[in-house]
């Protein structure tokens, strides 16, 4: 019996336009990615809904202790764990222990800003992702919690050694993957426009979000005066290949990228089918800026009004004036001028710190210790942890 090839989603540009810009092969790569979610994780979520608690118990044990620890595992759980545990050839002890170290060359406050004003704001520019958040009830009211949860996952995934099997980064990343699958199912149940946007949280969305945690965040930090070397870029991107593997991102979309320049070329391809902004993006951006202003008050005792003005200035700098206007980010010329004056000062201080190897290592250790405290601090379960325990 002949199978029907899923068509090009109507709200994701036009195939002919993509072919003109990037070629037929790239257009087909995007078409496949747009109509593909995460079949292995989706099957596990379906298995849980169909068979109940014993599947969830097996999944928890397998994530923590490996597929070999299970006797007669549920089929979908076995397939997911087999894929994750088929460690790519580029993964070794050096990558797991040292690959993420450049992430810790800047303070937690800088990470909070690049995560929010940089990565999350750009993620929300995707109409399909904003629509999923709207349909699943995680729009404005979830912004502060989403920022906290994303920060916790990111710190857990970046801690040296934490992406080994059973460690917090590995466990958390698999839990995030399964949360995506649960949201995918929920969005479909609530009328998500699959013919318009493709599969909810599809491979284009996942790869584009991967770019937000790498390319967008790194560019944001550079614009704040916190640059990294080409060697450090290479190290981080290779580490993120493995995060993508565990997260369920197709390797042909991200593996091989070792620099911002290479990432930008792939991101341009992904951006060609992202689609125009929708109103929810502005709502999410405003809520995120408010949430991170509160976070900066906690971390640095910065007054919320001052933090909000600074974050708006950084958002405009990171995303440019046109996108910022579409996102309804208010202008603030005084804050913009202060930002222009502050960045060279920050860059000079960072260069001075880098020139002292021992001081540089102390700064990294301090930032690693702070991240570890955040990951291990007792607090209410994150959304991905709660979904895993539900």
| Residue 203 near residue 18 (C-beta atoms within 8 A) | no
352: Cβ contacts below 8 Å, ≥ 6 apart: none
Instruction: Say what the pLDDT of residue 66 is.
Output: 96
Q: Where are the domains of the chain?
A: 39-86, 89-377
Confidence (pTM)? 0.93
Phi and psi dihedrals of 14, rounded to 5? -130, 140
Name the DSSP letter for residue 101. G
Between the alpha carbon of residue 154 and those of residues 169, 239, 333, the distances in Å are 8, 13, 32
94 burial via Cβ count (<10 Å: 0-12, 13-18, 19+): exposed
For 28-76, give the secondary structure using H, E and C. Answer: HHHHHHHCCCCHHHHHHHHHHHHHCHHHHHHHHHHHHHCHHHCCCCCHH
φ, ψ of residue 368 in degrees (nearest 5): -65, -45
Question: Looking at residue 384, what is its pLDDT?
Answer: 67
Contacts of 261 (CB under 8 A, 6+ apart): none
Distances in whole angstroms, Cα of residue 337 to Cα of each of 33, 43, 309, 341, 342: 42, 52, 12, 6, 9
Q: pLDDT by residue for the chain (390 residues), tens digit each?
A: 445 667 899 999 899 999 999 999 999 999 999 999 999 999 999 999 999 889 999 999 999 999 999 999 999 999 999 999 999 999 999 999 999 999 999 998 899 889 888 998 898 889 898 888 888 766 555 677 778 888 999 999 999 999 999 999 999 999 999 999 999 999 999 999 999 999 999 999 999 999 999 999 999 999 999 999 999 999 999 999 999 999 999 999 999 999 999 999 999 999 999 988 888 888 888 888 888 888 777 767 778 888 888 889 899 999 999 999 999 998 888 788 888 898 999 999 999 999 999 999 999 999 999 999 989 887 767 666 666 665
What whole-number distance in Å separates Cα of residue 364 and Cα of residue 243?
21
**Residues 6 or more apart in contact with residue 122 via CB below 8 angstroms:** 212, 216, 318, 319
């Amino acid at each position: 019996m002949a199978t029907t090839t899923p068509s090009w989603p109507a709200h994701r540009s036009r195939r002919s336009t993509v072919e003109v810009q990037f070629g037929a092969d790239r257009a087909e790569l995007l078409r496949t990615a747009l109509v593909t979610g995460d079949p292995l994780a989706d099957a596990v979520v379906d298995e849980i809904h169909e068979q109940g608690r014993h599947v969830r118990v097996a999944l928890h044990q397998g994530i923590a202790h490996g597929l070999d620890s299970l006797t007669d595992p549920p089929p979908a759980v076995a397939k997911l764990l087999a894929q994750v545990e088929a460690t790519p050839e580029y993964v070794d002890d050096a990558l797991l222990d040292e690959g993420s170290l450049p992430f810790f060359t800047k303070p937690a406050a800088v990470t909070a800003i690049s995560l929010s004003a940089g990565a999350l704001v750009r993620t929300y520019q995707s109409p399909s992702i904003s629509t999923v958040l709207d349909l699943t009830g995680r729009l404005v009211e979830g912004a502060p919690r989403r920022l906290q949860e994303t920060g916790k996952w990111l710190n857990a995934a970046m801690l040296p050694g934490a992406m080994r099997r059973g460690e917090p980064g590995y466990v958390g990343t698999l839990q995030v993957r399964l949360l995506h699958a649960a949201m995918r199912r929920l969005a479909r149940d609530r009328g998500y426009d699959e013919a318009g946007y493709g599969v909810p949280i599809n491979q284009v969305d996942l790869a584009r979000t991967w770019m937000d945690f790498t390319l967008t965040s790194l560019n944001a930090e550079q614009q704040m005066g916190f640059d990294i070397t080409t060697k450090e870029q290479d190290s981080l991107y290779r580490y993120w290949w493995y995060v993508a593997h565990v997260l369920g991102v197709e390797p042909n979309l991200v593996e091989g990228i070792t620099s911002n320049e290479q990432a930008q070329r792939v991101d341009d391809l992904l951006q060609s089918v992202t689609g125009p902004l929708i109103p929810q993006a502005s709502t999410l951006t405003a809520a995120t800026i408010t949430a991170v202003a509160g976070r900066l008050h906690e971390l640095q005792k910065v007054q919320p009004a001052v933090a909000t003005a600074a974050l708006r200035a950084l958002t405009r700098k990171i995303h440019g004036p046109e996108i910022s206007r579409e996102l309804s980010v208010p202008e603030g010329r005084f804050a913009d001028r202060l930002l222009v004056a502050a960045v060279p000062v920050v860059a000079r201080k960072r260069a001075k710190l880098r020139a002292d190897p021992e001081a540089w290592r102390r700064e990294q250790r301090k930032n690693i210790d702070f991240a570890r405290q955040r990951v291990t601090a007792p607090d209410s379960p994150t959304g991905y942890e709660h979904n895993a325990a539900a």
